[in-house]
Amino acid sequence: MKQALFILILVTVMTSVAVAQTFNYLAPVTELQGTLNQTTAFYSEVNNLTANPITMQAIINRSQAPMSWLAVYCIDTICYSPFTDTVEFIAQPFGLDSILVDITPFDTTNDGWITVIVQPTGQPSAAQSITFHLWLVLGVEENPLTPLTHALLKACPNPFNATLSLNFTLGHAAITDLAIYDLQGNQVAQIFQGSATAGAHHFTWNPGNLASGVYLAKLSSGGKDQVSKVVYLR
């Protein structure tokens, strides 16, 4: 009886160790305001906490979004079709893999939620998930000449190897902050900070001697944040 109990405890402990703390799935922003017929990008990342590569599954659940809304995801630099629900990728030892979720609303339903589930292949008990919430302000799309108070940040070209163009539009003057961060959350460049007038704004960023890799362009204005993943190739 004691031996059976010891084996049961050992199996339980080993299972808990195997399931827990092998990776983290995180996102800096999970709720954004969207625009009808325009794509809003949510950034998230998978952090392998082990010294071994892990074969992972990413599963996208669109059941809480209107059927006319388009939702696709990209893992690192590979983007998948809007009909792909499950993909596999290799999470490298102590590495970061980015998952970008692009949502485009094609009707005026106020809200939609997209959930991305990440798990080691064959281990659904170890799954971690993030639900991304996109909401619309009805009536804005009726006048396409009226810019949003806080528009989706546009970054191009992406990937880039020299200079990145950053563009956004404001519906009225607002205190605005545009900065670049690395994946550890460190600010590496301050692009603009201050009062921005209504209308379109254009800036450029040259990373100079920064290392190649993935960076985050973050626009804060009107109490809302927008984050775009950019890939720098030297």
Can you give the pLDDT at residue 7?
45
Above 60 in pLDDT, residue 150? no
Of 165 and 154, the structure prediction assigns the larger pLDDT to: 165
Structural domains of the chain sorted by starting position, each given as residue range(s) with its CATH number in brackets: 24-140 (2.60.40.10), 147-232 (2.60.40.1930)
- Interval 183-217: pLDDT, tens: 778 899 999 999 888 777 889 999 988 988 888 88
Q: Determine what percent of the chain is predicted with pLDDT higher than 90.
A: 35
d(CA 54, CA 51): 9
**pTM > 0.75:** no
Under 8 Å CB-to-CB from 72, ≥6 apart: which residues? 79, 80, 81, 82, 84, 101, 102
For residue 93, give the DSSP letter.
T
Lookup result for tokens 């404001």: 170
